[in-house]
Chains A and B, each alone.
Chain A
Amino acid sequence: MIKKEADWIQELPPNQYTIEDYDGGEARWCPGCGDFAVLSAVKRICRDNQIPPEKMVAVSGIGCSSRFPHYMNTYGFHGLHGRALPVACGIKARRPDLDIWVATGDGDCCSIGAGHWIHAIRYNMNITVMLFDNNVYGLTKNQSSPTSPQGLVTSTHPSGTWLPPLNPTLATLGFTNVSFVAQTVDWNPPHLYATLNAAYQHKGLSFVRIMQRCPTFTPNLFDPIINDPTRLILLTHENGIEVEPAVEKKFKNKVVHDPSDMTGARDLSTLEGKLAIGLLFHDPNTVIYDEFTNHGLDMDAGDKLKAVREEIARFAI
């Protein structure tokens, strides 16, 4: 197998997974779509953590970003619009051995799937959730999403959207039992990688909002932040997400933020005209639902039969 350059340099021992082992179908997003960067970051994380492809499930709803599982050579579940999270929780509830990665769009998660979102955060199962936030409906071609900025002209709001956008980060911070909330951007691959990798390492549900460019329908949406580097604030802290010093140096604006500080996290998630990226909130001591739903997985057939018999015996007359 011809390996990519990065792989030769690493001089991998034999029988190690390489990036190619995670390559699924050829990704068919529009040229320049931010989704490509996320896909490649996830593949690298898989390789670097040597996740066996058969021990990983990519779960999604419906949308451009939800094509994700098709492009990963792991188990995949391309579900229903808005229902990525219940599908993911369903799998994790009884398969704690599988790594679950969820790809969901801002329409998928924050509009039709909003009810599931609240409860998935509260369930806090050990899964990694990537919210691809392009502020618009891509797949159905340019309708408003709950995260569309106020005044954005879309085909369902031809004179601009009326409402202020829903802030998924702030909302998630407000849901009971939240344990890991981070923000990153598709256009800074090292930060994207570091954030998703930290999310993957977290035990509990990690929620990562990825600002994702959609060159087809909202081409200039993130320009103010991209063109003015002072508007992108890097969150740093010893308990936060670490990026290479060279990458860190590129940021003109840095804020030290302790991820256990919820009030600070909320403030940082609502900056006007600016975007804070990094770990906003982390609580390693929350209740993890799948630890309860996984009970009994080690029982053998004899144990189960015995349990059934005992239960049925209670109905004997």
Chain B
Amino acid sequence: MPKTKERPNPVLLPSLCKGCGRCIEACPKDCITMGDQIDQQSGLIPVVIDYDICNGCGLCITACPEPYGLTADGYELEDPARLYGERGPLATKPDAIPAQEIPLPKCEPLVLKGNYAAAVGALLAGCRHVFGYPITPSTEGAELMAKLLPDMNGVFLQAVSEVATVNHMYGCGGAGLPCMTFTSSPGFSLMLEGISYMVGAEVPAVFLNVMRGGPGLGNIAPEQADIKLVCRGLGHGNTHAIVLAPTTPQEMLDLTRLAFELTFKYRNPVVIVADGYLGQMTGRVDLPDHMIKPGLPDWAVWGDHAHRNNLINSIELAEVDLERRNENLNDKYAKMTANEQRANLFRADDAEILILACNTPARMVKGAVEKLRQVGIAAGLFHPVTLWPFPIEKMKSLLGHVKTVLVVEASAGQLEDELRLAFSHAGIEGMTIENLRHMGGVLPQEDEIVRKVIEIQGVES
């Protein structure tokens, strides 16, 4: 049939296609599909044309916005081999290189500030890339890293802002490397957009937020008023991250190490929340018996031939694809919820009054519990090591003997909200919840907690 003969055949040099897909939508015969191979020259994914179905209508040629994209037949096709040289072998699927444990000699305990302890923990977890923007009361961590990393084949890079910081981390984590930042509340606020992208793109990184008084500039004293943000508000979209809440310099070190393990295990950012007091407080710290030599995940955009096919991104234009991506994230969140709930208990086994607290307030509570036990009051401490996922299973196991949960926190009820939400999801009703709160940088004091518990006991008995 001469008619179809006259029609132009669309011709496309794959390395000049941007993969925008406009031709796919334009084609009435559905003969153009999105390819599944990254073009080695352009790094993009070009479309594929099925000439058996194509009737040469030419609509795709009109639709293609690229000046060197689709053209009519008759276009002199240059031999790509002549233009660019022989085509290299296609990238193969890279092997994941696992992390290794390297034994450490036994050493004397150290006396470290909380921020330094977290930095040492990161170094022992194999972190050699630290990005940050100075902000009190977190800066010591970055300053120690700036001193140590150049001697350890690593780098501390002072970013121009927290927005730059989180994007440096997006890149570094995307390369499959363990990285972290030290920041404090206003700085953490600025990182949220980037964190949302990192959750979407499944990029690991550790964020230490040494919380200070807010809202706004507030002050540099300890507060816990970012709990809502880290548990419920990590930027836009369907985001969650494991949130760890240390109480001592030792835990600053241990939980920072754990954070690196978890961030790679789940390919998801991990947030550690401390408070300004804990960051500055010195304490005895024992080092672990091994350190980590990081491996290299197979998904990393590492910059060599083997990882050439990898792509880090959070965009998903088709609604169904984005829904699927969200479902995958939800599966991951469900796994975290099932496997990573952690809590430290102190005299909680028979407690009638269970005091919920984390960070520095948990230390105050511990002292208070000891005093209360001396006067015969069955108080106990429940310290959620993971604020998200909330350790509700541990909590449930105690509820047989607990009459009241007292939430002690340096915020206007953000920790209590996490408890109430966990209770609600678990279908636990009727538990008496009391609270002792401070804000603005004031910490709950031991005596105050003791008085509060005695007051509650008095009302109950």
Contacts and interface: CB of A to CB of B under 8 A. Distances in A.
Interface in B300-329: none
Interface in A120-176: 137, 139-141, 143-144, 146, 155-159
B139 interface: yes
B161 interface: yes
B133 A112 contact: yes
B1 interface: no
Given A112-B133, A140-B134, A140-B136, A81 B186 contact: yes
B158 A144 contact: yes
Contacts of A39: none
B82 interface: no
B147 A143 contact: no
Contacts of B150: 159
Contacts of A143: 134, 139, 143, 158
Interface string A169-189: 000000000000000000000
B160 interface: yes
Given A62-B217, A155-B146, A156-B146, A111 B160 contact: yes
Nearest to A79: B217
Interface string A70-112: 0000000010111000000000000000000000000000011
Contacts of A288: none
Given A80-B217, A137-B134, A141-B139, A156 B158 contact: yes
A157 B150 CA distance: 10
Contact of A157 (B133, B135, B146, B186): B146
A155 B161 contact: no
A156 B142 CA distance: 7
A114 B135 contact: no
Interface in B123-158: 133-136, 139, 142-143, 146-147, 150, 156, 158
A81 B187 CA distance: 10
Contacts of A140: 134-136, 139
Q: Chain A contact residues: over half helix, strand or loop, or mixed?
A: loop
A156 B160 contact: no
Nearest to A146: B160
Q: Give the size category of A's interface with B.
A: 20 to 34
Q: Give the size category of B's interface with A.
A: 10 to 19
B113 to A, nearest CB: 14
A82 B162 CA distance: 11
A233 B418 CA distance: 63
A78 B133 CA distance: 20
Nearest to B142: A156
Interface in B147-185: 147, 150, 156, 158, 160-162
A140 to B, nearest CB: 4
Contacts of B146: 155-158
A111 to B, nearest CB: 5
A143 B182 CA distance: 14
Contact of B160 (A112, A158, A159): A112
Nearest to B147: A158
A112 B165 CA distance: 11
Nearest to B189: A80
A156 B156 CA distance: 8
A80 B216 CA distance: 8
A157 B134 CA distance: 12
Contacts of A141: 136, 139
B160 A114 contact: yes
A81 B143 CA distance: 20
B105 to A, nearest CB: 27
A159 to B, nearest CB: 7
Contacts of B186: 80-81
Given A82-B161, A143-B143, A155-B146, 14 more contacts: A80-B217, A81-B186, A81-B217, A111-B133, A112-B160, A112-B162, A140-B136, A143-B134, A143-B139, A156-B134, A157-B158, A158-B143, A158-B146, A158-B147
